[in-house]
Structure 1
Amino acid sequence: MLEKLNPLFDLAGRIFIAILFVPAGFSKITGYSGTAGYMEAMGVPGILLPLVILVELGGGLAILAGWQTRIVAFLLAGFSVVSGLLFHFQPEDQLQMIMLMKNIAIAGGLLFLVANGAGALSLDRRSSRA
């Protein structure tokens, strides 16, 4: 019975992941200088911010649409782990370590997309039929 709902579960999962990345990327556009300053304060060159925006906003939208899902999910998983380590690895701060674990868990969910693809309700599936 639940197998019939798999396409909807796949879509819901992609929506939930995109809800994390799309607003985060957009907020970096609207708060560009503050975000660049924060990155630099953490030792990450602010010049990388356009790439971060592209990864979060573009990657989130691609996941939402189910376009190039396996590639994008792989890149976002790596981004999640690297950004978690750069910004949240502070063993003396329990909250920051929880945030790091959140990033690791997100990467795990993205790896399910790498392994299984976007599902039936996706541009990937539509283009494979053409």
Structure 2
Amino acid sequence: MKLVTLISDNKALSNIALLFARLSMAAIFLLAGLNKVQYYDGNAQYMASSGLPAELLPLVIVFEIGAALLIITGFMTQITAIALAGFSIVSALLFHFNLGDQMQFIMFFKNVAMAGGFLALAATGAGRFSVDHKILSK
């Protein structure tokens, strides 16, 4: 077995890796959405301080939680992954573009990395352990 294709040549490992990728990448958005519910007023103030209307916060919450659940279940994975990649880049630019601040620098590139991961997920699809696979294999 070639070391370079250790996972991609093994369907079982590849599908387990895709499941883990979906769960771990979606977790940050699920937790972020739930945090925004729990600390609604503070998050609304933060959005307003960044120049966005606080009235958008419910839409952000629904998007983060809903998209995370779609990725976790592997339903409409490719389109959801593309949407989350775009959301990650936009939020990096709007909220973490102060690259002179080390924490914002890290947060900015965390968002860029998440976008890259979501684009890779969009390219590969959800894998066998997903609703998408169930639908497509009928």
Tell whether the structures are fold-level matches, with TM greater than 0.5: yes
Which runs of at least 4 in structure 1 moved beyond 4 Å after TM superposition? none
TM-score of the aligned structures, taking structure 1 as reference length: 0.95
Q: How many residues end up aligned between the 2 structures?
A: 130
Tell me, which stretches of 5 or more residues in structure 2 are unaligned?
1-5
For 2:80, give the aligned amino acid: V
User: 1:70 is matched with which residue?
Assistant: 78
Name the amino acid aligned to 2:110: K
Partners of 1:91 and 1:20 lie apart in 2 by: 22
CA distance in 2, matches of 1:26, 1:92: 29
User: Following the alignment from structure 1 to structure 2, what is the Cα–Cα distance between the partners of residues 94 and 108?
Assistant: 21
User: Going by fraction, where is helix more abundant, 1 or 2?
Assistant: 1
TM-score, length basis structure 2:
0.90
Q: Which one has a bigger Cα radius of gyration?
A: 2
Identity %, equivalent residues: 46
1:44 shift after superposition:
1.2
SS at match of 2:129: coil
Q: Which residue of 2 aligns with 1:88?
A: 96
Work out the CA distance in 2 between the residues paired with 1:51 and 1:86: 16
Which of 6, 28, 40 aligns to 2:14? It is 6
**1:1-130 aligned within 5 A:** 2=7, 3=10, 4-130=12-138
**Is contact 1:55-1:76 (8 Å) kept?**
no
Unaligned segments of structure 1, at least 5 residues: none
Say if 1:36 and 1:46, in contact at 8 Å, map to a contact too.
yes
Moved more, 13-22 or 91-100: 91-100
1:85-106: per-residue Cα shift (whole Å, max 9, x none)? 1111003212211110000000
Measured after TM superposition, the shift of residue 51 of structure 1 is 1.3
Please give the alpha-carbon distance, in whole angstroms, between the structure 2 residues aligned to 1:62 and 1:41.
Answer: 30
